[in-house]
Amino acid sequence: GESVGLHLPTLSVQEGDNSIINCAYSNSASDYFIWYKQESGKGPQFIIDIRSNMDKRQGQRVTVLLNKTVKHLSLQIAATQPGDSAVYFCASFVYNFNKFYFGSGTKLNVKP
Amino acid sequence: NAGVMQNPRHLVRRRGQEARLRCSPMKGHSHVYWYRQLPEEGLKFMVYLQKENIIDESGMPKERFSAEFPKEGPSILRIQQVVRGDSAAYFCASSRGDREKLFFGSGTQLSVL
């Protein structure tokens, strides 16, 4: 289900380092996953997605890893930049409820 | 190709008034979702609609809140007799279908005085 009403955990990284943001999902009926980036005052922006028949997908500077055994999803950002500072949400599509559920989010703070 | 359009961007209402939030999905998208977000918190699902149908409204309060997605025109989230606790950012998202990418609008920030 959804995690709501929780204050955001924060991950602080140095500019240039790699970032890893984690997400756990609970429903084994999840078969499609998306990572979103939300900057202050804006709507969530699509970053990368992955379907359950894959365990890894790469984009530009981002990689998503899916471990269905432990119901875990991660987003790796290479060479993190100040512009990457935002809140990151994972979303999972649960097919027996036919809708997306969102994680509670992680705030990424990139230090120059 | 315009993205998901929400208006107004900011809406101020006094307690007891009505709030109407509009969402025009991306071209070719027939699925619309509404989410609510409080500061420093996650996105809380409210309602999922397809054209002329409410598919899932399990996240929407039973009283004062309603949503529609007519055959023509934008989706509307309506909040009657607003209270201070309704103050939040309301985001709309659209997709082409199930298990398709959700694209979000910029949100409507509702402030209830």
Of A8, A44, A102, the CB nearest to B40: A8
Strand-pair category, A10-14 with A106-111: parallel
Residues of chain B with confidence (pLDDT) below 50: none
**Mean pLDDT score of chain B, rounded to an integer?**
94
Interchain contact, A43 vs B99, CB within 8 Å: no
Per-residue pLDDT for A101 more than 70?
A: yes
pLDDT value at position A3?
41
Task: Tell me the mean pLDDT in the region A33-52.
Answer: 94
Per-residue pLDDT for A6 more than 80?
A: no
Kindly state whether B40 is in contact with chain A, defined as any CB-CB distance less than 8 angstroms: yes
B56 neighbors B48 (Cβ within 8 angstroms): yes
pLDDT value at position A80?
97
pLDDT, one tens digit per residue, over A71-83 is 999 999 999 999 9
pLDDT value at position B109?
97
State the DSSP H helix or E strand holding residue A48, giving kind and residue range, or none if neither. Answer: strand A45-51
pLDDT, one tens digit per residue, over A18-27 is 999 999 998 8
B36 neighbors B46 (Cβ within 8 angstroms): yes
pLDDT value at position A97?
79
Q: What residues have CB less than 8 Å from A71, skipping those under 6 apart?
A: A24, A25, A26, A27, A28, A30
Q: Which of B21, B31, B43 to mutate to test the interface with A (most CBs of A within 10 A)?
A: B43
pLDDT value at position A7?
59
Q: Closest Cα of chain B to A68: distance in Å?
A: 17
Q: Closest Cα of chain A to B109: distance in Å?
A: 9
Q: Closest Cα of chain B to A78: distance in Å?
A: 23
Distance CA B72, CA B67 (A): 14
Kindly state whether B34 is in contact with chain A, defined as any CB-CB distance less than 8 angstroms: no
